Chains A and B, each alone.
Chain A
Amino acid sequence: MQSLPHGTSATDPDTKPLIAEFRAATKRYGDILAADALSFGIGKGEFLSFLGPSGCGKTTALRMLAGFETPTSGEVYLDGERVTDVPAYKRPVNMVFQHYALFPHLTVADNIGYGLRQRRPRPDRAEVARKVDRALEMVRLTGFGPRRIWEMSGGQQQRVALARAIVNEPKVLLLDEPLAALDRKLRREMQIELQTLQRQLGITFVLVTHDQEEALSMSDRICIMQSGRIVQSGSPTALYDQPVSRYVADFVGKSNFIDGTLMTRSGNAGQVQTATGHRFAGRLAGPLGPGANASLSIRPEQIGLAHAARDGAEPVTVINRIFLGEHTEYLVRHAALGDLLVLVARQAEAAEGGFAPGDAGHVTWAPEAGLILGLD
């Protein structure tokens, strides 16, 4: 799945059986359209992420799946059944809440066993205890069962929240920015743990996040959201290599954008002219026609930086240099195009010789590295 015109279905191409599906699900809060005719399917066992800036409707989509919000119009299906009006407590899904929402009056073990104890017929104590212990083990909190919630650190609380959800073996596990409150190092650890857990359990995960790194590193598939709509859905690689708009390219990975007007187009190739008269060639994927406002997107690692001028190279001044180990990130300034980000691999830098701030240089990129995108 690469690109999607607005509002059409975003179902996984390799026709996995669907565990959940939205059909034109719309949610309005007064004048605000929080979800705009969302239509997509979630494959069984998939790790799907909703990625977008704050306020774009990610949580609303998740809450419609959990049963906390009823769509204003449209339908929600879970495992083949229409659940649009089914209350949350009857849905076989569980949620890891953004601020965990752990019960402060219960111990860790009682929090985790809460869902099991709601089942009817009620499972016996021994079975609950056994499952709780296994869940504790899975999130590496063996022995913490008798503790009180406020005796646990943020990272531990996050694991308890996770255990409390997965112990119920939900058909879909919903995670609303689950790692947002953790510090960077813990977040990395939990990302890996979440991924491992998902593979072990085979449960479908739906994650909501505004952190692209989180979405890119964990998901099988990402839905990029913008004002209540899914603007593109696909694998992290597909989104990175073939974004359908400047919005998506900006949200997935870093990129340089050169704004201008699309001058010519023939097939999948076109030319963009900037306000300063510079012309650049690039690939074209969308339905853009000549005369349209467009932006040329070039990923930092696709730009080469050299001392000597070459044919078609643009002169720049080095502004800043950040050493990142395997790579060095340069910020360079072009008189007309503004600042560009350039990522130089260690070997390439060694071959060319380094640059210091203030040095003059020349940047080049292959014509096919430039991607011409619509501005929306």
Chain B
Amino acid sequence: MQRRLTTWLLLAPAGVWFAVMLVLPLCFVLVFSFGMRAPAGGYVPAFTFEQYANLPARGTAFLNTLTLAPLGTLLSLVIAYPLAYFLAMRADPKWRTTLLILVIVPFWTSILIRSYAWIFILGGQGLPAIIEWLGFGPVRLINTPFAVLTGIVYGYLPLMVLPVYVSLERLDKRLLEASADLGAPPLRSFLQVTLPLSLPGVATGCMLVFILLMGEFLIPAMLGGGKVFFIGNALVDLFLQSRNWAFGAAVAVTLVVIMLVTVSLYMWLMRRMGGQRDDMALM
């Protein structure tokens, strides 16, 4: 009895936080999404599916998010895996911590400032100028999907590297000896042992990056220059500019549903991939 009381008391702050800051607002958003826009902006209570029917009006934002977020996740993975592999399996253990810190260092500066840096690098005076000087004709990089993708991969790479690194680092290296002992050359050992056993880390990294990308609005706003819109940008616009709260709520609910489906898929995959509970802890 005593212990249960303690448990409840310890859980209370988090519980209240979640109820007030997450569940309650979500309920509001859900209710709003079935309402109407007041003529002067804001919300008028109603029960209509009009807002959901109107979703195609923001189709570009959904399309951009649903292509660039998975693409950005995939690109991050392709770059992060070899890096994490090197750190965990090849790097001199003496240097490992230093190298890991170097991976995290970009986080010490605000993403706002780092995105500004990219504006200059990809802007007219940056890379395009060099490319043109080399004689490859005029190119435009800033305010393109390419610029947004670059910013995304740059910004979220550490989030991909770390979970993959952890799963590779925890891999029992004797398994690779066992694989070699049983006749598998290095590449086959990688494909049959290292890769499958690092999948939980890969899934976790992809999940983290993908979820954050789905809600991203800063990088598209800065590097996409209003031309490459994400759902996040649409939400900012709907709630703060055009004050169409009901429609904004419908967009937000759709976004939440997409994320829920993705997370469920992830959980299901994790459970299928062995069912070892401790891998879930990576989440």
Which A residues lie at the B interface, using CB under 8 A? 66-68, 87-90, 93-95, 97, 99, 101-105, 114-115, 118-119, 148, 150, 164, 168
- Report the nearest B residue to A113, measured CB to CB: B182
Asked if B127 is at the interface of the complex by the 8 Å CB criterion, the answer is: no
* Pair B177/A118 contact, Cβ less than 8 Å: no
A94 to B182, CA, bound (A): 7
Q: Given A102-B178, A118-B182, 16 more contacts at CB 8 Å?
A: A68-B180, A68-B181, A88-B177, A89-B180, A89-B186, A94-B182, A95-B177, A95-B178, A95-B181, A97-B177, A101-B174, A101-B175, A103-B179, A105-B196, A119-B183, A148-B274
A164 touching B182 in the complex, CB below 8 Å, given contacts A101-B172, A105-B197? yes
* Pair A104/B183 contact, Cβ less than 8 Å: no
Chain B nearest CB from A302 CB (Å) reads: 44
5 closest cross-chain pairs (CB), A and B: A118-B183, A115-B182, A101-B178, A101-B174, A88-B180
Point out the residues of chain B lying under 8 angstroms from A150, CB to CB: 276
Chain B nearest CB from A65 CB (Å) reads: 11
Q: Name B87-124 residues within 8 Å CB distance of A.
A: none
A2 to B44, CA, bound (A): 101
Point out the residues of chain B lying under 8 angstroms from A105, CB to CB: 193, 196-197, 273-274
* Pair B274/A104 contact, Cβ less than 8 Å: yes
* Pair A97/B197 contact, Cβ less than 8 Å: no
| Residue in B181, B188, B192, B274 whose CB lies within 8 Å of A88 | B181
* Pair A89/B178 contact, Cβ less than 8 Å: no
- Report the nearest B residue to A115, measured CB to CB: B182
Q: Name B188-231 residues within 8 Å CB distance of A.
A: 188-189, 192-193, 196-197
Point out the residues of chain A lying under 8 angstroms from B188, CB to CB: 118
Interface residues on B, range: 20 to 34
* Pair A104/B178 contact, Cβ less than 8 Å: no
A88 to B186, CA, bound (A): 10
* Pair B276/A89 contact, Cβ less than 8 Å: no
A104 touching B197 in the complex, CB below 8 Å, given contacts A68-B177, A97-B174, A99-B174? yes
Point out the residues of chain B lying under 8 angstroms from A168, CB to CB: 182-183
A101 to B178, CA, bound (A): 6
Chain B nearest CB from A91 CB (Å) reads: 8
Interface of B is mostly: helix
* Pair A87/B178 contact, Cβ less than 8 Å: no
A118 to B177, CA, bound (A): 14
Asked if B185 is at the interface of the complex by the 8 Å CB criterion, the answer is: yes
A89 touching B183 in the complex, CB below 8 Å, given contacts A97-B177, A97-B178? yes
A88 to B238, CA, bound (A): 63
A168 to B182, CA, bound (A): 8
Asked if B61 is at the interface of the complex by the 8 Å CB criterion, the answer is: no
Asked if B184 is at the interface of the complex by the 8 Å CB criterion, the answer is: yes
Chain A nearest CB from B13 CB (Å) reads: 36
Chain B nearest CB from A88 CB (Å) reads: 4
Point out the residues of chain A lying under 8 angstroms from B175, CB to CB: 101, 103
- Report the nearest B residue to A95, measured CB to CB: B181
* Pair A104/B177 contact, Cβ less than 8 Å: no
* Pair A115/B174 contact, Cβ less than 8 Å: no
Point out the residues of chain B lying under 8 angstroms from A87, CB to CB: 180
A104 touching B184 in the complex, CB below 8 Å, given contacts A88-B177, A99-B174? no
A87 to B181, CA, bound (A): 9
Point out the residues of chain B lying under 8 angstroms from A164, CB to CB: 182
* Pair A94/B181 contact, Cβ less than 8 Å: yes
A104 to B276, CA, bound (A): 9
A313 to B276, CA, bound (A): 67
- Report the nearest A residue to B189, measured CB to CB: A89
A97 to B172, CA, bound (A): 12
- Report the nearest A residue to B188, measured CB to CB: A118
* Pair B276/A103 contact, Cβ less than 8 Å: no
Chain B nearest CB from A153 CB (Å) reads: 17
0/1 interface trace, chain B 241-283, chain A, CB 8 Å (1 if under): 0000000000000000000000000000000011110000000
- Report the nearest B residue to A92, measured CB to CB: B183
Q: Name B148-176 residues within 8 Å CB distance of A.
A: 172, 174-175
| Residue in A114, A119, A148 whose CB lies within 8 Å of B179 | A114
A101 to B171, CA, bound (A): 11
Point out the residues of chain B lying under 8 angstroms from A119, CB to CB: 183
Chain B nearest CB from A11 CB (Å) reads: 26
Point out the residues of chain A lying under 8 angstroms from B196, CB to CB: 105
Point out the residues of chain B lying under 8 angstroms from A114, CB to CB: 179, 182, 184, 192
Query: Please, could you name 12 A-B residue pairs with CB atoms under 8 Å apart, sorted by A?
Result: A66-B181, A87-B180, A89-B181, A90-B183, A101-B178, A104-B274, A114-B184, A115-B182, A115-B183, A118-B182, A118-B188, A164-B182
A20 to B184, CA, bound (A): 22
Chain A nearest CB from B114 CB (Å) reads: 38
- Report the nearest A residue to B195, measured CB to CB: A105
Chain A nearest CB from B95 CB (Å) reads: 19
Point out the residues of chain A lying under 8 angstroms from B183, CB to CB: 89-90, 115, 118-119, 168
A89 to B178, CA, bound (A): 9
- Report the nearest A residue to B171, measured CB to CB: A104
Point out the residues of chain A lying under 8 angstroms from B182, CB to CB: 89, 94, 114-115, 118, 164, 168
Chain B nearest CB from A306 CB (Å) reads: 55
Chain A nearest CB from B219 CB (Å) reads: 36
Point out the residues of chain A lying under 8 angstroms from B197, CB to CB: 104-105
A89 touching B177 in the complex, CB below 8 Å, given contacts A101-B172, A104-B274? no
Point out the residues of chain B lying under 8 angstroms from A88, CB to CB: 177, 180-181
A62 to B44, CA, bound (A): 79
A90 to B197, CA, bound (A): 24
